């Protein structure tokens, strides 16, 4: 379709109403530029979308912020909702050899009996060593395994980090870049309270409540946010984007900012750019995620985030959300996430929801012997096809630029967040950056 002229009065269309898309749209609206956000789901928020538990919204996929997430904090302050952010200490653990070990504070590391004392010290010093890395580029050609063994020794890697890497990335664990792991250590190590314990942040009413606030602000500034608007194509003329197709509607576009996963964007661009460019967007691979969310009538444990170092357990983590945000917020329901990253053709990913539950409960019983299936009062299974970019060695060279050969068509996705990993904090950073860049390119002045 090439029938629409790209006029200066048309809005900028943002594809995707997650935090990247909303942040980009907010910057454009603040600059006085007409903007329309098209979101496929019934509400904005993207991967931070929620569902209802006893009248309260909770994320489909677990979410929190670190206390050093400066970009999201700046956004919250700008929107005037700082009082909605809650900071709480959390308890982190590690399940190893049929035992749960607490690993929330530096002292916990020194009590970690599966390691000899010298290796406990090496484990404890790892975060300090990671924070001393001045130039992450020196790690681009090194795998996470090589780097961790170098810094902490083979025993620490074998007991602590190798099972987590394999649980997270499966068959591609040995390809993961040291840059990815370095950033994880640096980020978590910087979110600490006075006693050295981890402190995390949450938004009252769930992250989707913040997405709603962003959408309201965009609308107040003259923009539009349309949900249930799944984008299926684009239009172009003379080498420039002219519109976005969603259902049976064509939205004229002065410019487009696309925030979905790169393979989805590649499909949109086919026939509008050279085939070689579309193909280049497929260089970055992704893992899917399946998340089983249980609503229980009682707690499993007192641990918020339990990393699982047991290859027989099918999930990489057990996250008891209500050890962070109290069960009272959900009418007394205890919310537990069982999360697994995996290929889209994995058997678990393709199971029916009821079969996922039946498959998972015996494993949970083995980990928590007192657990009984009668505790489960509700369950939900959520899937995300493009959940985790595979950050392999030399990943930086694989990232596509924000600009494309199609004039006016811009890309801002979680796969371009680097050296940091995906997350709402960096989604906000990248979204605001591309929004400001597009505003400047269109020659508008900020309000």
Q: Which residues pair with 58 in a beta bridge?
A: 51
Q: Is the pLDDT of residue 201 over 60?
A: yes
Task: Specify whether 210 is located in the same domain as 266.
Answer: yes
Distance, CA of 154 to CA of 119 (rounded, Å):
9
Residue 201 lies in a domain: no
| Mean pLDDT value of segment 81-85 | 97
CATH number at residue 35: 3.50.50.60
Task: Specify whether 301 is located in the same domain as 336.
Answer: yes
**Other CB atoms within 10 A of residue 250 CB:** 17
pLDDT of residue 34: 97
Q: What is the chain's mean pLDDT, rounded?
A: 94
Q: Is the pLDDT of residue 2 over 50?
A: no
pLDDT of residue 198: 85
| pLDDT tier, 194 (very low <50, low <70, confident <90, very high otherwise) | low
Task: Specify whether 403 is located in the same domain as 267.
Answer: yes
pLDDT of residue 9: 78
Lowest mean pLDDT among 137-146, 188-197, 390-399, 413-422: 188-197
Q: Is the pLDDT of residue 243 over 70?
A: yes
pLDDT of residue 6: 40
| Mean pLDDT value of segment 352-372 | 98
Look-up: residue for tokens 């996470």? 144
Q: Which of 347, 363, 389 is the last residue of a domain?
A: 389
CATH number at residue 328: 3.90.660.20
pLDDT of residue 4: 34
Look-up: residue for tokens 């009821």? 354
| pLDDT tier, 5 (very low <50, low <70, confident <90, very high otherwise) | very low
Residues of the binding site? 20, 39-40, 231
Q: Is the pLDDT of residue 445 over 60?
A: no
pLDDT of residue 184: 87
Q: Is the pLDDT of residue 271 over 70?
A: yes
Chain centroid to CA 321: 16
| Mean pLDDT value of segment 92-109 | 93
Residue 79 lies in a domain: no
Q: Is the pLDDT of residue 258 over 70?
A: yes
pLDDT of residue 443: 79
Could you read off the pLDDT of 148-177 as tens digits, one per residue? 999 999 999 999 999 999 999 999 999 999
| Mean pLDDT value of segment 187-208 | 79
Q: Which of 157, 189, 221 is the last residue of a domain?
A: 189
- Contact (Cβ atoms closer than 8 angstroms) between residue 259 and residue 386: no
Q: Is the pLDDT of residue 394 over 70?
A: yes
Q: Is the pLDDT of residue 123 over 80?
A: yes
Task: Specify whether 274 is located in the same domain as 293.
Answer: no
Predicted TM-score (pTM) of the model is 0.93
Task: Specify whether 264 is located in the same domain as 181.
Answer: no
Task: Specify whether 279 is located in the same domain as 217.
Answer: yes
Residue 7 lies in a domain: no
Task: Specify whether 144 is located in the same domain as 268.
Answer: no
Residue 85 lies in a domain: no
Q: Is the pLDDT of residue 195 over 90?
A: no
Q: Is the pLDDT of residue 405 over 50?
A: yes
Residues of the binding site for FAD? 20, 39-40, 231
pLDDT of residue 193: 63
Q: Is the pLDDT of residue 447 over 50?
A: no
| Mean pLDDT value of segment 387-414 | 97
Could you read off the pLDDT of 316-361 as tens digits, one per residue? 999 999 999 999 999 999 999 999 999 999 999 999 999 999 999 9
Q: Is the pLDDT of residue 374 over 60?
A: yes
Domain that holds residue 413: 12-63+206-284+398-441
The rounded percent of the chain whose pLDDT value lies above 90 is: 90
pLDDT of residue 131: 86
pLDDT of residue 189: 62
Task: Specify whether 319 is located in the same domain as 378.
Answer: yes
Q: Is the pLDDT of residue 139 over 60?
A: yes
- Contact (Cβ atoms closer than 8 angstroms) between residue 140 and residue 394: yes
How many domains, the chain?
3
Residue 240 lies in a domain: yes
Residue 416 lies in a domain: yes
Q: Is the pLDDT of residue 187 over 80?
A: no
Residue 40 lies in a domain: yes
| pLDDT tier, 297 (very low <50, low <70, confident <90, very high otherwise) | very high
**Range 190-227 burial, b when 16+ CB lie within 10 A, else e:** ebbeeeebbebbbbebbbbebbbbbbebbeebebbbee
Distance, CA of 398 to CA of 390 (rounded, Å):
11
Residue 59 lies in a domain: yes
Q: Which residues pair with 243 in a beta bridge?
A: 235, 252
If phi > 0 it is left, if psi is from -120 to 50 it is alpha, else beta; for residue 207 that is alpha
Task: Specify whether 310 is located in the same domain as 236.
Answer: no
Task: Specify whether 292 is located in the same domain as 376.
Answer: yes
Task: Specify whether 378 is located in the same domain as 307.
Answer: yes
Q: What is the 3-class SS of the chain, one letter each residue?
A: CCCCCCCCCCCEEEECCCHHHHHHHHHHHHCCCCEEEECCCCCCCHHHCEEEECCEEEECCCCCEECCCHHHHHHHHHHCCHHHEEEEECCEEEEECCEEEECCCHHHHHCCCCCCHHHHHHHHHHHHHHHCCCCHHHHCCCEHHHHHHHHHCHHHHHHHHHHHHHHHHHHHHHHEEHHHHHHHHHHHHCCECCCCCEEEEEECCCHHHHHHHHHHHHHHCCCEEECCCCEEEEEEECCEEEEEEECCEEEECCEEEECCCHHHHHHHHECCECHHHHHHCCCCCEEEEEEEEEEECCCCCCCCEEEECCCCCCCCEEEEHHHCCCHHHHCCCEEEEEEEEECCCCHHHHCCHHHHHHHHHHHHHHHCCCCCHHHEEEEEEEEEEEEEECCECCHHHHCCCCECCCECEEECCHHHCCCCCCCHHHHHHHHHHHHHHHHHHCCCCCC
Q: Is the pLDDT of residue 191 over 70?
A: no
Task: Specify whether 356 is located in the same domain as 433.
Answer: no
Could you read off the pLDDT of 22-51 as tens digits, one per residue? 999 999 999 999 999 999 999 999 999 999
């Amino acid at each position: 379709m090439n029938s629409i002229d790209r006029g200066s009065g048309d809005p900028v269309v943002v594809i995707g109403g997650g935090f990247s898309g909303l942040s980009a749209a907010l910057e454009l609206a603040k600059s006085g530029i007409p903007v329309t956000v098209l979101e496929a789901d019934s509400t904005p928020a993207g991967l931070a979308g929620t569902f209802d538990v006893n009248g309260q919204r909770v994320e489909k996929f677990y979410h929190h912020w670190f206390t050093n997430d400066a970009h999201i904090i700046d956004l919250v302050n700008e929107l005037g909702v700082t009082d909605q952010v809650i900071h709480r200490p959390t308890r982190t653990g590690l399940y190893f050899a049929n035992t749960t070990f607490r690993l929330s504070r530096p002292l916990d590391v020194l009590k970690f009996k599966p390691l000899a004392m010298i290796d406990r010290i090496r484990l404890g010093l790892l975060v300090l060593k990671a924070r001393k890395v001045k130039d992450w580029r020196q790690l681009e050609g090194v795998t996470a395994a090589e780097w961790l063994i170098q810094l902490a020794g083979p025993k620490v890697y074998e007991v602590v980090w190798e099972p987590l890497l394999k649980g997270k990335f499966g068959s591609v664990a040995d390809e993961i870049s040291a840059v990815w792991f370095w950033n994880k250590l640096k980020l978590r190590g910087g979110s600490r309270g006075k006693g050295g314990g981890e402190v995390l942040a949450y938004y009252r009413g769930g992250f989707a409540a913040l997405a709603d606030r962003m959408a309201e602000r965009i609308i107040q500034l003259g923009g539009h946010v349309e949900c249930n608007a799944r984008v299926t194509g684009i239009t172009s003329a003379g080498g420039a984007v002219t519109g976005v197709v969603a259902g049976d509607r064509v939205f004229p576009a002065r410019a487009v900012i696309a925030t979905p996963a790169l393979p989805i964007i590649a499909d949109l661009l086919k026939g509008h750019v050279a085939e070689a460019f579309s193909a280049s967007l497929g260089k970055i691979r992704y893992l899917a995620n399946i998340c089983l969310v249980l609503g229980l009538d009682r707690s499993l444990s007192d641990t918020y985030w339990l990393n699982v170092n047991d290859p027989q357990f099918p999930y990489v983590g057990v996250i008891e959300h209500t050890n962070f945000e109290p069960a009272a917020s959900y009418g007394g329901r205890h919310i537990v996430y069982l999360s697994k990253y995996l290929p889209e053709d994995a058997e678990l990913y393709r199971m029916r929801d009821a079969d996922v539950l039946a498959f998972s409960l015996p494993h949970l019983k083995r980990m928590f012997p007192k657990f009984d299936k009668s505790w489960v009062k509700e369950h939900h299974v959520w899937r995300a096809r493009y959940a985790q970019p595979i950050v392999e060695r030399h990943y930086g060279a694989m990232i596509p630029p924000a600009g494309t050969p199609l004039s006016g068509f811009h890309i801002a996705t979680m796969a371009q967040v680097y050296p940091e990993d995906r997350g709402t904090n960096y989604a906000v950073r990248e979204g605001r950056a591309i929004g400001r860049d597009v505003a400047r390119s269109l020659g508008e002045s900020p309000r």
